[in-house]
Amino acid sequence: MTPPQLVPPPVALAHDASGPASTPGGPLPLVLLHGTPFDRTLWAPLRARAAASRRVLVPDLRGYGESEVTPGTVGFATFAADIAHLLDAHGIGDFALGGLSMGGQIAMECVRHFGTRVRGLLLVGTTPEPETPEGVRARRELAARLEREGMDPYTAEALPRMTATPPGSAVTAHVRRMMRGTPPAGAAAALRGRALRPDYRPVLREFTAPALVVVGERDTYTPVASARALADLLPDARLAVVPGAAHLPVLEAPERVGELVVEWLERVEGAGT
């Protein structure tokens, strides 16, 4: 039996808060969660676009970027508690929530804990299923490897799958910087927590607010078929496949993703009227 996971106190996350302050009846605030091993700069293009009309919060998750590292194991309930703490610190009630890869799974955990506040859900390159036994072993082995070797060897190995942009492009350089700059202990703790994640499918079947599922056409971490199954699971979801993109369409095709997100936010706010 897996022992219960203790949730440590929330930490104050490093974050960017952009756009006009949220007001009652105004545009819905948007919160964006990065994946691993990245940081909040992953969302820079979308943050700039969305902040033209609304408050946008983009944190570094615990253990990433400029946020505090908690070594060992950080479960997804802990990440969700940190997000709730951030929302409360900004006086935000209802909001729209987006996440990429692991960030998408943390977004699902947020829905699990305080879903009545989530008015819309953006899921990019992510899946709701629990980890397989093989996946649990692989994530624990990778966690130990990162603590032993640091981030550079893994970055060199995984970078070609992250993005379909040319090796010398600015996008690839940005992704490399994020990966190499991630604290190994932070990434390792998240990997161990990710191995323990629950099955989010029952939660998502009950989530009736507008959702948008985005996937890169060339994503090998989250194939298009997996994204389609996720969209089919949600009662009010639309699927968007981004041509030519791999796992990080928010950087590889920022204009297209920006258009999709603007349309989704219009649906979200229309559903609330």
Report domain extents, the chain: 15-271
In terms of Cβ atoms closer than 10 Å to its own Cβ (0-12, 13-18, 19+), residue 206 is: exposed
- What is the percent of the chain with per-residue pLDDT over 70, rounded to a whole number? 96
Structure tokens at 67: 């946020």
Confidence band for 2, pLDDT divided at 50, 70 and 90: very low
Q: Could you check whether the bond before residue 167 is cis, i.e. omega within 30 degrees of 0?
A: no
Structure tokens at 226: 């997996």
pLDDT for 273 beyond 80: no
Q: What CA–CA distance (Å, rounded) separates 79 from 237?
A: 24
Query: Burial code of 144-182, b = ≥16 C-beta within 10 A, e = fewer?
Result: eebeeeebeebbeebeeebbbbeeeeebbebbbebbebb
Phi, psi of 247 (to 5 degrees): -85, -15
CATH T-level fold of 15-271? Rossmann fold (3.40.50)
Q: What is the pTM of this model?
A: 0.96
pLDDT tens for 7-48 read 667 888 999 999 999 888 899 999 999 999 999 999 999 999
What is the full DSSP assignment across 71-84?
A: -S---HHHHHHHHH
Q: What CA–CA distance (Å, rounded) separates 86 from 179?
A: 24
